[in-house]
Amino acid sequence: MDVEQQIGTALLILGIGLAVLFIAVVALIVMVRKIAAEKTPAQPEKVHRIVVPQAVPVRAAVPAQPAVQEGIPGAVVAAIAGAVWAVYGQGASSIREIRREETPAAQVGRSARPARSAWAAAGLLESTRPF
């Protein structure tokens, strides 16, 4: 066989392969459309209309103010409330109380510094959080 016959044979095989592939794709599309047509109802179901009475306007409830311990400035309370709103959104949570953390008797002589930095604790929580 010379090179021209080999190229001709290769092109013939390539053409047959592409034709078979095209026919298979068309057959698959036809089968999927038939299956989809069988699953959809021929006539649409009757739509039941529900009459909804007009809503009576209700006064919005006044949100309860959080109980703030003496000595905590208003700017701190506003920062805490803003952070909670930014994380959880409106209406998803409420602040009930803001107070200073009591220092345990065991830590009176030691530094109040936590064992891990805030970034290390956040990384630990993120990497060990369940799916």
Alpha-carbon radius of gyration of the chain: 35
Residue type, 22: F
From first to last of its 131 residues, the chain has per-residue pLDDT tens of 799 999 999 999 999 999 999 999 999 999 999 998 887 766 666 777 777 777 777 777 666 666 777 777 888 888 888 888 888 877 767 777 877 776 665 555 555 566 788 899 889 888 898 86
68 near 75, Cβ under 8 Å?
no
| Cα–Cα distance for residue pair 118/65, rounded to 1 Å | 29
Whole-model pTM over 0.75: no
